[in-house]
Amino acid sequence: MIPRVLSGIQPSGNLHIGNYLGALGNWVKIQHDYESIFCIVDLHAITVYQKPDELRTKIREIAGIFLAAGIDPKHSRIVVQSTVPAHAELAWLLTCVTPMGWLERMTQFKAKAAAQESIGDGLFQYPVLMAADILLYQANIVPVGEDQMQHIELARDIAQRFNSLYGETFVMPATRLPAVGARIMGLDDPTAKMSKSASGTGHAVALLDPPDRIRRTIMRATTDSGSGVDFETMGPGVANLLAIFQSFSGWSDDQMRTHFTGVRYGDLKKQVAEMTISQLEPMQQRYREITADPSHVDRVLHEGAQAVLPTANATVQLVKEHMGIYTRGR
Ligand code: AQP
């Protein structure tokens, strides 16, 4: 059997180059080696308040970006999480086997909770829903950025606990990180990861940003008190700019050192900006073409959901049977 890949992105803001280099770009490269399912996880997005009209728009926008980036809808399934009710149903069943202490340890919950005035229970339960997303499809591989590693570990722990309580049910998923770009940092603050929900114009480069804006954001990026690239002593801001260049270009470590040693920060930023623009412009052009026909995206999303429903429903049925929950005919 061909191994299955599952991953997702929240429609919680503008997709940025961190999402692309840590996740989406990697999905495009590996999709044909697997049976691939890529989700737009709207049920995750609402764990913090989203304006309804913006959320609706973002879901379609992200589907368009997936296609423009090169996700092949003839091979890979693009699925809006809420259109497959089994995600939420399995999440509840798994909630019942997940100790609260496991969730209290999640660093992303702690970070996000600290930024909210009041915290919904959904934010706390988020990692269980994510485990459900993965286990629902019995996914073998979950390609994500480094920030999601702890959540994948938790999904494995939940699967293991369920299997030991109720018998073999779930496949153990494995993480797959990109070689470079697994953690792109904020351009305004290279000690914090680039994030959709961070405020401030100098923080992120969005995938649909026009070239002049990309140039402006990267030219203003925080570096350090040095003036030229020194691979031995560089601070996190310079390391981040180099990681962005290397991930987009695919250059080796040796090529990077030979080319950039001693290059002044202003020139480094110019080269990172031009490399980023050259990679994003063709994607933006395809995005405009794809979204010129809004029904195209809706068709892809409908077909995606229809294709995965049988697998999703079969897993929930199996879980219910193993737990002793009433199922017809048993
Ligand atoms: N800065 C990043 N560097 C590398 N990978 C990243 N990812 C996110 N930020 C970076 C990867 O993108 C995928 C989708 O992320 P998500 O939408 O599920 O949410 P997130 O990880 O919480 O991303 P954001 O951008 O920070 O969103 P908000 O602000 O809405 O929480 C994941 O594979 C993630 O690893």
Helices then strands (H, E): number in the chain? Answer: 14, 5
Mutation choice for ligand 1 from 5, 10, 244, CB with most ligand atoms inside 8 A: 10
Asked if pLDDT for residue 103 goes beyond 80, the answer is yes
Annotate 261-281 with DSSP letters as a single string: TT-BHHHHHHHHHHHHHHHHH
Q: Quick one: 4-177+293-323 is in which CATH superfamily?
A: HUPs (3.40.50.620)
**206 neighbors 15 (Cβ within 8 angstroms):** yes
User: Which residue has a Cα nearest atom 34 of ligand 1?
Assistant: 145
- Residue 327: phi and psi, rounded to 5, are -130, 145
Asked if pLDDT for residue 328 goes beyond 80, the answer is no
Work out the angle at residue 236's Cα, subtended by the Cα atoms of residues 235 and 239, and round it to the nearest 5 degrees. Answer: 90
Active-site residue flag, 269: no
Active-site residue flag, 196: yes
17-31, 67-81, 100-114: segment of lowest average pLDDT:
100-114
Average pLDDT on 172-186 reads 88
pLDDT at 185: 97
pLDDT band at 241 (very low <50, low <70, confident <90, very high): very high
Average pLDDT on 220-244 reads 95
Point out which residues pair with 5 in neighbouring strands. Answer: 36, 141
Give domain 211-289's CATH architecture.
Answer: Orthogonal Bundle (1.10)
Q: Where are the domains of the chain?
A: 4-177+293-323, 211-289
**152 neighbors 100 (Cβ within 8 angstroms):** no
Asked if pLDDT for residue 14 goes beyond 70, the answer is yes
pLDDT at 179: 79
- Where is 100: in which H helix or E strand? helix 100-104
Annotate 180-226 with DSSP letters as a single string: S-SSPBPSS-TTSB--TT--STTS--BTT--HHHHHHHHHT----S-
